[in-house]
Amino acid sequence: MAKARLKEQKIIRDWCKGCGICIAFCPKKVLELDAEDKAVTVRPEDCICCRLCELRCPDLAIEVFKQEEE
């Protein structure tokens, strides 16, 4: 079975309050807070598409899209 690969991680910055929950739950440390205390994807190549960030975000500000498997 092929490893899931990230197509896009959409973060709605207006909705993000910078709580850091997504960062704490990410097993691969893909996310960080930027200078404005908003979540940003800093290591997209490490994302395993587990969607923990999306599922745990209390503001529904993150959506994970994985690439279609061939």
The highest-level CATH class for domain 6-66 is alpha beta
Q: How many CB atoms lie within 10 A of CB 49?
A: 16
pLDDT (tens place) for every residue of the chain, 70 residues total: 567 788 999 999 999 999 999 999 999 999 999 999 999 999 999 999 999 999 999 999 999 999 876 5
Domain boundaries, the chain: 6-66
Count how many residues are written for the chain.
70
- CB of 33 within 8 A of CB of 21? no
pLDDT of residue 68: 72
The one-letter amino acid code at 35 reads A
